[in-house]
Structure 1
């Protein structure tokens, strides 16, 4: 009998959780008996939607787009997603953007709307066994006169399913309304509608809000028969460490599969512990058999919420850069070693190590061939090596088992999803030694592999940038656009102009999932600093258009988009406005010019050079303002309300002014940040998700200073030259401790100290403090401007 022994390393805790003290030197006896079968496994996967979080993936260049899709869907390569939930778009923002409807107005069906059908095609092409799930978060305003729970919505869902069929997609599961409870009569009518339309095989998931629907089954057999799966969200806690999970007696006794139909919402690296705990402990505590992480990928720009949340992130299509997170490999520990239809194994084949949650957990599943099996262990929270003594019986294979592991605390990608030495049982028994803070999969199956593709380093989208929209077919999304509310599509130009224009095509307020806002779209790079954005505008109804610049951090909901705006109405009134993440406005300049009128074309421009902001119409300056609250950000365009105005000839041209740039860590993917946007001398800088904020934009001066806010400098505390001295902001004074050499190899070296800007202890999490340290070539000392 061989023993699997791995080098002991110090445990690394990701996050914090109140949990029982770990048992010392735990030994667990495990009997994996193939005859003690529990519920049927439905799969692990993720959600594209809720919303806009996959938007930029379709704009990625090759080969990076194929690499990302392979990491997500290709069997025996990466995540190998088994369940994929697609949003049924409704023109309203459902977290990180507005997913376009396939039917903006009643009867006008466009089966090529958006990118969700494309994504489904890509997923199924790589894995034909993948199961597709569909769910709406929002709906067009014409639905039911504003009533979601209406026959209109059933017809709308069925028309979406018809579109999916046209794309060769089979939808296996359909939900009601994300996190908005349920109308029992509507669910029964949905079942009838699906059956009558030829979709009798589509199973309804109810109700993506709680387990309450199960409480009605005893008194409403028709409802029980209508619903195929009971789904609930964050069954192990929202933004928690998922120490324990829960369901109800009525749900468990319903005879329905129970799903964690949404979990996650955590960083693609730092969220790995709650990820693996959810998919293990969800079954142990609540008999959950299907799991959908939100979201699949963060293919959004870094100024939006949740920009690093998912299995991986890819917010820079112009550079092709992407990051594969530890969460992806947590999913792989299940999906590369199991398949939907396998059976969970109960009794001691699944449980808590040493009978103590703090030691970790394990779950065993057997194949439909009744011979192969896999056991997934997680030792998060443990502080010492543990031993498991395993005996296999009940018709399961007693042959060699293969072992794969992920070190959840290591920042080194080489420590994630690693093939270890095989173990050969003796008489059906074997022993393993499990190290702390790991995921292990032990399996009799073969063929698994770890993808090796890597994206290039990120870089900004170069200026000038232009788009006349004539290169697109109608009803498409122009590249690098991110609709925040409403829907902006290419359409034939009107008002005497030929060719293709961009048009806001949502004619009324949608049935929203989160708060309403004006319709607007963002485009381009959140790192743009000094530029002029120009756009031709054709106002088709009375109202106001908005041209956005330096569109910076967005808080939820989408009306909390920090940006400067030029607002112009059809009567000629104009204003330069600063809009904040608190949804407040400050008018910086305003006035009136000759009326623009309707159905005529005019050119609007909004320019930035340092703190100076200039607005013009038809090449005549309207006014200027002086403000430097936002040093960088995207451009954008919108309307106040839901007018169906048109836009053409986008141009973003560079201006002179201080050259601002972020410093993004090569190892962490996060930016040098002044915490809380503080301007107090002595504030130590730290890592934080890149968001384009003024507290992340540094100007490299001719005096080798890295200035922030125009008056503060990156400074080594007390002019120290000692390893570990903190790096802070301070009033600029031209001291050597405020001078830095920004080198081609990515290092930023203090002139006074000769030491490198360093992320403490190779930390990668938000809030990791920065210091100076002897230069050693580590990626925690390399930065991309």
Structure 2
């Protein structure tokens, strides 16, 4: 196999010639750009393109889809040679803490707790592997429960926490993790990764490679690389250098040389599908075109052999940050079964349907195009199949490319698939090399092409996708229908936990099920956290009332939320909206929450104490909205009113808290959203084909 150093030298020479408008073949090819594909000298192995589920809570509504739509969405994402055909899946290891949009539950809430049914990522990995056994699985934590290292993430506790998760994945689901990270975007700790390597080895996981340190796209994320050459233990511990957004913070030349000399793989463990300036693309098609550009240049310019985009599927509410451009498709309406493609699906397809993990980049076939765009070529390690993937972002005119293949590559005709703004993933006429192994293709501007000697590709889709419908209203969940909570990952339908975790639990009085906010200590979170809260509903709701029966575990306060129209900016998770809180001591208040309020980000609009308060048992808390008038009711009696017109519409939710930002658990039942002064609401009936995930 050709060395990375020689391969990169030759490929960069090709790129330089291309940039100068020169060609590499005969005068007969002077009208275009030429490539000679050197099959016997394969370059680095390709490790796949895919996406992240998590960071955080990004797939939460996917689990609630009915059949057959839920299986259709999974087929679109993972089924080989069908639609996206993703080749790798990167999973957040939950911590009970917020990790951008929301929080995901931990498998170890305490040192002695081991529960591999919490949440939905286990299910998602199982479903992805069921569809594509060759798909690779990767994982990393954004945060950790508070008991881990007593708040110190970089601890032996965290090494053990990871080992427990990996073993639980294997013992419970029969799945083998292919690689693991250290911590998402939270700096470098070279001493810790060496201990992590020792811990994995001591637990029978010597073959599990570590990638480090998965930092955000800035110039400092490469600062530790010189230590790899100086520290044999560090070099042995880190198999792969993983960082984010490589095109925004490319490796310095000295770093690139060190990594090649040490034969270290480079992975882009989180790209953001933004343009070169770190901003959103102007439209969905530009995003798709830009994604293939990123896939190509991550290898051409940065040696990256694996690229995962954040994030997989848009299964969050629209009021959550980054709900629009990053995901591969929309699946955020499980109550209707509606889902929608985005053009970026076909960006994944142009790779996933034409290559496989373990193929090799081909010398002479990876370069920038002289007229704008880029091309990469990969070949199968066995036989002579190969594929060429090109994009022409920014090109002003058609470009003609001439390819010469050697005898080690197949001389079969190549299928040609093209995506343009007007027509996505359409097969064109095949191209056959001539007797001397030469073929020519002309590429239109702002288009994506895949040429391949393989067959079986298809534009996978399903007919009769249900129309979108509003969230059911009125709405009530008494949680009693979740008979075996673990079968649902302990999570009810339609709630999206933003901070903390609201899980299905047994009522202490034995009267069925309820919802319990379970986090009673602060976690070591990825970003600053507000108070534990979860949301559901429709951001267009204006005048309505939201209520829940509440019982206190051990103090603190709990309440209901309404007119929630924002859940943070992707770093903080401060909501915009209102909440009514009831304390275990009978204190009550109506509170405005706003990211425009300094400090605690909220301000009481009215405060008081419930007359004749008795803490024991259950109490019904209601928050009613009538124009600018807000009314709080406890056990059917109005206790507070306020007037505020800051937020006229938004979703409903549940919330807990305590003095000095402490964490308290609390129980909720009969969560109800109703018309103002509406009559009794029967429990919402969920379709029978909305089946448990486990």
- Shorter-chain TM band: 0.7 to 0.9
Structure 1 window deviating more from structure 2 (275-284 vs 180-189): it is 180-189
Structure 1 window deviating more from structure 2 (251-260 vs 376-385): it is 251-260
Note if contact 2:76-2:461 (Cα within 8 Å) is conserved in structure 1: no
The separation in 2 between residues aligned to 1:595 and 1:107, in whole angstroms, is 41
Note if contact 1:214-1:254 (Cα within 8 Å) is conserved in structure 2: no
The separation in 1 between residues aligned to 2:88 and 2:102, in whole angstroms, is 22
In structure 2, the residue matched to 1:736 is: none
Note if contact 2:228-2:235 (Cα within 8 Å) is conserved in structure 1: yes
In structure 2, the residue matched to 1:367 is: 380
The separation in 1 between residues aligned to 2:107 and 2:613, in whole angstroms, is 33
CA separation of 1:479/1:22 partners in 2, compared to 1, >3 Å: closer, same or farther? farther
Partner SS, residue 421 of structure 1: strand
In structure 2, the residue matched to 1:722 is: none
In structure 1, the residue matched to 2:277 is: none
The separation in 1 between residues aligned to 2:666 and 2:591, in whole angstroms, is 21
The separation in 2 between residues aligned to 1:208 and 1:394, in whole angstroms, is 40
In structure 2, the residue matched to 1:437 is: 446
- The gaps in structure 1 that reach 5 residues or longer are 1-19, 658-785
CA separation of 1:232/1:559 partners in 2, compared to 1, >3 Å: closer, same or farther? closer
CA separation of 1:332/1:52 partners in 2, compared to 1, >3 Å: closer, same or farther? same
User: In angstroms, what is the RMSD of aligned CA positions?
Assistant: 2.2
In structure 2, the residue matched to 1:279 is: 295
Structure 1 window deviating more from structure 2 (563-572 vs 578-587): it is 578-587
Partner SS, residue 547 of structure 2: strand
Partner SS, residue 171 of structure 1: coil
Show the 5 A alignment for 1:743-762. Answer: none
The reply on whether 1:649 has 2:670 as its aligned counterpart is: yes
CA separation of 1:595/1:423 partners in 2, compared to 1, >3 Å: closer, same or farther? farther
How many corresponding residue pairs?
623
**CA shift digits 1:519-573 (9 cap, x unpaired):** 1111223333322111011112222213101111222245421111112222222
Show the 5 A alignment for 1:180-191. Answer: 180-191=186-197
The reply on whether 1:379 has 2:392 as its aligned counterpart is: yes
The separation in 2 between residues aligned to 1:185 and 1:586, in whole angstroms, is 44
**CA shift digits 1:169-205 (9 cap, x unpaired):** 1101011011112222221111121122122221111
- The gaps in structure 2 that reach 5 residues or longer are 1-18, 23-29, 216-220, 275-279, 679-694
Note if contact 1:245-1:282 (Cα within 8 Å) is conserved in structure 2: no
Deviation at 1:596, TM superposition (A): 4.6
Note if contact 2:209-2:239 (Cα within 8 Å) is conserved in structure 1: yes
The reply on whether 1:157 has 2:162 as its aligned counterpart is: yes
In structure 2, the residue matched to 1:542 is: 555
Note if contact 1:321-1:457 (Cα within 8 Å) is conserved in structure 2: yes
Note if contact 2:358-2:381 (Cα within 8 Å) is conserved in structure 1: yes
CA separation of 1:246/1:270 partners in 2, compared to 1, >3 Å: closer, same or farther? farther
The reply on whether 1:416 has 2:421 as its aligned counterpart is: no
Structure 1 window deviating more from structure 2 (630-639 vs 554-563): it is 554-563
TM-score with structure 2 setting the length: 0.86
Structure 1 window deviating more from structure 2 (210-219 vs 335-344): it is 210-219
In structure 2, the residue matched to 1:201 is: 207
Deviation at 1:340, TM superposition (A): 1.0
Note if contact 1:373-1:443 (Cα within 8 Å) is conserved in structure 2: yes
Of 450, 454, 478, 2:459 maps to: 450
The reply on whether 1:144 has 2:152 as its aligned counterpart is: no
Note if contact 1:211-1:248 (Cα within 8 Å) is conserved in structure 2: no
Deviation at 1:598, TM superposition (A): 4.4
The reply on whether 1:170 has 2:180 as its aligned counterpart is: no
**CA shift digits 1:492-532 (9 cap, x unpaired):** 212x3522111111110000111121111112233333221
In structure 2, the residue matched to 1:471 is: 481
In structure 2, the residue matched to 1:129 is: 134
The higher-RCO structure (CA 8 Å, 6+ apart) is 2
In structure 1, the residue matched to 2:36 is: 31
Structure 1 window deviating more from structure 2 (528-537 vs 68-77): it is 528-537
In structure 2, the residue matched to 1:481 is: 495
TM-score with structure 1 setting the length: 0.76
CA separation of 1:338/1:456 partners in 2, compared to 1, >3 Å: closer, same or farther? same
In structure 2, the residue matched to 1:750 is: none
Show the 5 A alignment for 1:71-470. Answer: 71-165=76-170, 166-209=172-215, 210-237=221-248, 248-266=256-274, 269-308=285-324, 309-347=326-364, 349-354=365-370, 359-407=372-420, 409-410=421-422, 415-427=423-435, 428-453=437-462, 455-470=465-480
